[in-house]
């Protein structure tokens, strides 16, 4: 019985990977099964509504019932629940406080926090809303915003909190581009001079960034080389939570964010005349 169940799932996964309806012979060869075994499994799946048979060609394909099952699971997923055990592990690994953050109205909101057990640690509370442009989780979330939403946020201005705060929109855009390339962000005393951090994006089943996870702590402990050393476990934590939310790393990534359009410089009248003369 167990072997039959395994074969059924293997058949289901094989059909899911086919880009067109497939016949019994091809499926049997792909799975290393007899055609009679494949036929019986397909008939059972068809009776349960998971497989559709094309009568004219004798080929099979999956129905949307599999998709409906997946959507039922996805509807019950929750970022906080998915992250709970993993952010606890991240705190143990780094010994620093861990934040789970989302964007609300263009600013970060801490929706969960695991406090560091060290005597000296960064102070924050669940529900706090630090400025997105100068904390690690905030910059990661800004980095993956659609262009229109990012532009709207930048129009609100970039307040200065320390000498390290990025207050120039063009400079921040370059920072966000770098974050997308390397997969994590850093805060080096940009909101509070004495606090640094590193964060990575969390994706949902569709590949969209829906939250961020990061660590923060005293700048005297989280020096630049330490931030670099802690980046991999933070990224690994974010990737694990993403998988809990249904994200498959092998799935196609969302399209890259569009760059802001640059207007071509207008030619002076004299330059236009010279161009025409040269063409003649």
Token pair listed for 86? 């993993």
Check residue 70 and give its pLDDT.
73
Residue 225, token pair as written in the block: 């080389």
Q: What's the rounded Cα separation, in Å, for the pair 162 and 232?
A: 27
The answer to whether domain 77-244 has CATH 3.30.750.24 is no
Q: Are 141 and 108 in contact (CB under 8 A)?
A: yes
pLDDT, residue 266, reads 53
Reference 113, options 104, 105, 122; nearest CA is 122
Show the CA angle centred on residue 277, arms to residues 276 and 280, nearest 5°: 90
- Residues 231, 198: contact at Cβ < 8 Å? yes
Name the fold adopted by 2-72: Arc Repressor Mutant, subunit A (1.10.10)
Domains of the chain by residue range: 2-72, 77-244
Q: How far apart are CA 158 and CA 170, in angstroms?
A: 11
Specify whether the backbone of 53 is left (phi greater than 0), alpha (psi in -120 to 50) or beta.
beta
Say what the pLDDT of residue 75 is. Answer: 56
CA quadruple 179, 185, 186, 191: dihedral sign:
positive
Rounded-to-integer distance, Cα 87 and Cα 114, Å: 7
Residues 180/257, Cβ–Cβ less than 8 Å: yes
What is the mean pLDDT of each successive set of 10 residues along the chain, which is 280 residues long? 84 88 91 91 91 86 83 69 93 95 86 88 85 95 92 91 94 95 94 94 91 94 93 96 87 46 50 46
Please tell me whether the overall predicted TM-score, pTM, comes out greater than 0.85 for this model.
no
Query: Count of CB atoms within 10 A of residue 92's CB?
Result: 11
Q: What is the pLDDT of residue 27?
A: 92
Angstrom distance (rounded) from CA 82 to CA 124? 22
What pLDDT does 16 receive? Answer: 87
């Amino acid at each position: 019985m167990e072997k039959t169940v395994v074969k059924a799932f293997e058949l289901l996964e094989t059909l899911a990977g086919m880009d067109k309806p497939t016949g019994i012979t091809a499926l049997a060869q792909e799975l290393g099964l007899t055609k009679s075994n494949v036929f019986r499994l397909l008939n059972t799946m068809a009776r349960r509504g998971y497989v559709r048979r094309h009568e004219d060609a004798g080929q099979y394909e999956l129905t949307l019932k599999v998709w409906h099952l997946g959507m039922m699971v996805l509807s019950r997923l929750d970022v906080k629940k998915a992250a709970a055990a993993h952010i606890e592990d991240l705190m143990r690994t780094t010994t620093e406080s861990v934040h789970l953050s989302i964007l609300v109205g263009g600013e970060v909101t801490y929706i969960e926090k695991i406090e560091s057990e060290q005597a000296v640690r960064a102070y924050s509370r669940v529900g706090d809303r630090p400025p997105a442009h100068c904390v690690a989780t905030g910059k990661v979330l800004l980095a993956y915003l659609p262009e229109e939403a990012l532009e709207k946020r930048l129009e609100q201005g970039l307040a200065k909190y320390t000498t390290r705060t990025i207050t120039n929109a063009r400079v921040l855009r370059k920072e966000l581009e770098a974050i997308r390339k390397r997969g994590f962000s850093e805060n080096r005393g940009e909101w509070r001079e004495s606090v640094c951090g590193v964060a990575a994006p969390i994706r949902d089943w569709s590949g969209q960034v829906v939250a961020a996870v990061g660590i923060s702590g005293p700048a005297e402990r989280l020096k630049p080389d330490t931030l670099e050393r802690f980046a991999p476990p933070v990224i690994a934590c974010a990737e694990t939570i993403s998988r809990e939310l249904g994200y498959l790393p092998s799935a196609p990534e969302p399209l890259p964010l569009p760059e802001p359009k640059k207007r071509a410089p207008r030619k002076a009248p004299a330059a236009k005349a010279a161009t025409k003369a040269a063409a003649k």
